[in-house]
């Protein structure tokens, strides 16, 4: 033991002196080989080009786990320089004081980033984090089932009303499949509020000041809850019964037990492959919205890259350099092809267009148009609140109540009361 300690004492300083290298820990939440491998390959390329810097990416569990781990590490002065944080955690990350805005690390030209994406992460005029993996929800449909029911797959429904009409036909055709399936997730409610130009929270969607109440008593929220009520009452809707069950809902769709499905654009690749395996062709359309509403666009979902406060200037700059490298034009185009996440840069879209990507995979075009045609406003910038993980769940439980037979007004009233209480409880931390 003594000998070991002695060796350590002798070797320690020598080793760190020889390594005049800045080490940059990068914690992310991609456990699968495809995506974590891609990140590792980018780090290797970056390290090779910058001998003074060593980026070390590592998988730190779910978004929730990794946020927790980062905060605890930061308290001990061992924060990773770069962390991937999910969008509902943005306000929490901001309030934690453990991070610094990327725009204050050094001057970056953000004009190439797609507007709605950069808007989400711009808080109080500062770009707090760098967009990385972004997506939005779209309508998926089974072309064969639609044809069997006498529907034209070239003109998928774009409104709730049109979707219900299509469901009538699907039902009449007796196809041994429900019309519509999607996972019950608060994320979709957030999207539909934005589509209608309605902020989800007061105080400019929580962007001008701390949000103190939700707008779940609005007409827009009623439209969304009523949609689920009608779909359920008519027997058009199905899901596994478990909240946020993405995989289960995808499985219902790919096993041809639902003609229509709504989920993230990030799943286009996986669903297309599963559909091929099960012998049908998948189509993609814009997210259907309430009738009579102007299409305001989507809120960006996914995650962004944050830089820790408690790291040296060299580490912070190195982290930002790497984040910018990983999200450069070429890399983002590649990332998109690999995963289905949006490339977050306009130049990457142009590059993909030049490569003929959209004529090879026309499914993706719908998703892109949906994003690039988004009208910038506080509503489409997305709601910010520190209890967002909890309020999202509360909204899901409210929807589940409606599916269980409760009236829309009663369910919304109760949901709003609970969500507002959660906001109050969070805000009380700052008194």
Helix intervals (H) in 214-362: 219-233, 246-254, 268-277, 313-326, 329-339, 346-354, 357-360
Tell me the C-alpha distance between 186 and 216, whole Å: 12
In the complex, least distance from residue 71 CB atom to other proteins, rounded to whole angstroms = 5
Instruction: Spell out, one character per residue from 41 to 70, where the chain touches other proteins: x when CB under 8 A holds, - when not.
Output: -----------------------x--xx--
Note whether 428 binds other proteins by CB under 8 A.
yes
Interacting residue with other proteins among 337, 400, 413, 417 (CB under 8 A): 400
Rounded CA separation 93/316 (Å): 17
Q: Which is nearer to other proteins, 169 or 257 (CB)?
A: 257
Among 143, 401, 419, 420, binds other proteins (CB under 8 A): 401
**Residue 278 found at the interface with other proteins (CB under 8 A):** no
Give me the least distance between CB of 187 and other proteins, in Å please: 15
Give whichever of 239 and 341 is closer to other proteins, judged by the CB atom.
Answer: 239
- Collapsed DSSP state (helix, strand, coil) of residue 428: helix
Distance CA(82)–CA(315), nearest Å, equals: 9
The residue within the footprint of other proteins, chosen from 77, 124, 279, 404 (CB under 8 A), is: 404
Query: What gap in Å lies between CA 191 and CA 184, rounded to an integer?
Result: 13
d(CA 25, CA 315): 9
Residues 69-88 touching other proteins, rule: CB under 8 A, are 71, 75
Among 164, 378, 390, 416, indicate the residue that binds other proteins (CB under 8 A): 390
In this structure, the chain runs to a length of 431
Nearer to other proteins, 55 or 395 (CB): 395
Residue 407 binding other proteins, by CB under 8 A = no
Stated as kind and residue range, the H or E segment containing 238 is: strand 237-238
Closer residue to other proteins in complex, CB, 339/415: 415
SS3 call for 176: coil
248 near other proteins, judged by CB under 8 A: yes
For residue 300, give the DSSP letter. Answer: -
Which one of residues 96, 230, 329, 346 is an interface residue with other proteins (CB under 8 A)?
Answer: 96
The binder of other proteins chosen from 34, 106, 147, 242 (CB under 8 A):
242
Would you say 29 or 265 has its CB closer to other proteins? 29
229 contacts other proteins (rule: CB under 8 A)? no
User: Which is nearer to other proteins, 347 or 400 (by Cβ)?
Assistant: 400
Alpha-carbon span 79 to 71, nearest angstrom: 7
For 280, counting Cβ atoms within 10 Å of its Cβ (0-12 exposed, 13-18 middle, 19+ buried), the class is: middle
Q: Following DSSP, what letter does each residue of 20-89 receive, concatenated?
A: --EEEEEEE---SHHHHHHHHHHHHHHHHH-TTEEEEEEE-SSHHHHHHHHHHHHHTT---SEEEEEGGG
Residue 208 within binding range of other proteins, rule CB under 8 A: no
**46 with 344: CB under 8 angstroms?**
no
Q: How many residues bind other proteins (CB under 8 A)?
A: 43
- Least gap, CB of 99 to other proteins (angstroms): 11
Helices marked H in 106-218: 115-121, 143-148, 160-172, 186-195, 202-206
Q: What is the footprint of other proteins within residues 166-185 (CB under 8 A)?
A: 178, 181
Binding mask 344-383 for other proteins (x = CB under 8 A): ----------------------------------------
Task: Match 């190195």 to its residue by tokens.
Answer: 318
Give the nearer residue to other proteins in terms of CB position, either 108 or 389: 389
**Stretch touching other proteins by CB under 8 A, among 161-169, 211-219, 341-349, 420-428:** 420-428
Contact criterion met (CB below 8 Å) for 104 and 119: no
Residue 344 in contact with residue 332, Cβ under 8 Å?
yes
Q: Is residue 92 a contact point for other proteins (CB under 8 A)?
A: yes
| Sites of contact with other proteins (CB under 8 A) | 64, 67-68, 71, 75, 92-93, 95-97, 178, 181, 238-245, 248, 251-252, 255, 257-258, 386-387, 389-390, 393, 397, 400-401, 403-404, 422, 425-426, 428-431
């Amino acid at each position: 033991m003594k000998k070991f300690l002695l060796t350590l004492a002798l070797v320690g300083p020598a080793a760190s002196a020889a390594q005049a290298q800045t080490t940059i820990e990068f914690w992310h939440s991609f456990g699968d080989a495809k995506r974590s491998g891609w990140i590792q390959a980018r780090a290797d390329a970056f390290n090779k080009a910058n001998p003074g810097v060593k980026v070390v990416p590592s998988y730190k569990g779910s978004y929730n786990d990794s946020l927790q781990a980062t905060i605890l590490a930061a308290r001990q002065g061992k924060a990773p320089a770069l962390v991937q944080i999910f969008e509902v955690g943005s306000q929490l990350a901001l309030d934690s004081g453990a991070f610094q805005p990327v725009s204050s690390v050094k001057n970056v030209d953000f004009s190439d980033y797609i507007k709605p994406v950069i808007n989400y992460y711009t808080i109080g005029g500062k770009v707090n984090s760098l967009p990385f993996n972004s997506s939005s929800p779209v309508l998926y449909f089974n072309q064969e089932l639609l044809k069997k029911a006498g529907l034209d797959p070239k003109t998928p429904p774009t409104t709730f009303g049109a979707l219900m009409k299509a469901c009538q036909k699907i039902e009449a055709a007796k196809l041994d499949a429900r019309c519509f399936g999607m996972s019950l997730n608060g994320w979709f409610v957030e999207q539909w509020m934005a589509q209608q130009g309605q902020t989800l929270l007061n105080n400019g969607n929580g962007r001008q000041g701390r949000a103190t109440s939700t707008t779940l008593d609005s007409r827009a929220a009623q439209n969304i809850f009523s949609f689920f009520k009608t779909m359920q009452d008519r027997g058009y809707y199905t899901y596994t019964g478990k909240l946020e069950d993405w995989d289960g809902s995808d499985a219902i769709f790919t096993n041809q037990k639902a003609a229509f499905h709504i989920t993230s654009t990030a799943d286009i690749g996986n669903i297309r492959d599963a559909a091929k395996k099960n012998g049908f062709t998948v189509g993609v359309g814009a997210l259907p919205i309430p009738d009579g509403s102007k299409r305001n666009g989507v809120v960006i979902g996914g995650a962004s890259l944050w830089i820790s406060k408690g790291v040296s200037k060299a580490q912070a700059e190195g982290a930002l350099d790497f984040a910018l490298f990983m999200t450069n034009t070429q890399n983002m185009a590649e990332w998109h092809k690999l995963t289905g996440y949006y490339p977050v840069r306009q130049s990457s879209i142009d590059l993909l267009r030049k490569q003929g990507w959209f004529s090879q995979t026309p499914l993706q075009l719908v998703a892109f148009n949906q994003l690039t045609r988004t009208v910038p406003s506080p509503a489409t910038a997305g709601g910010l609140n520190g209890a967002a993980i909890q309020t999202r769940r509360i909204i899901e439980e409210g929807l589940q109540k409606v599916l269980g037979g409760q009236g829309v007004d009663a369910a919304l009233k109760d949901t709003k009361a609970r969500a507002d209480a959660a906001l109050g409880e969070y805000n009380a931390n700052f008194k």
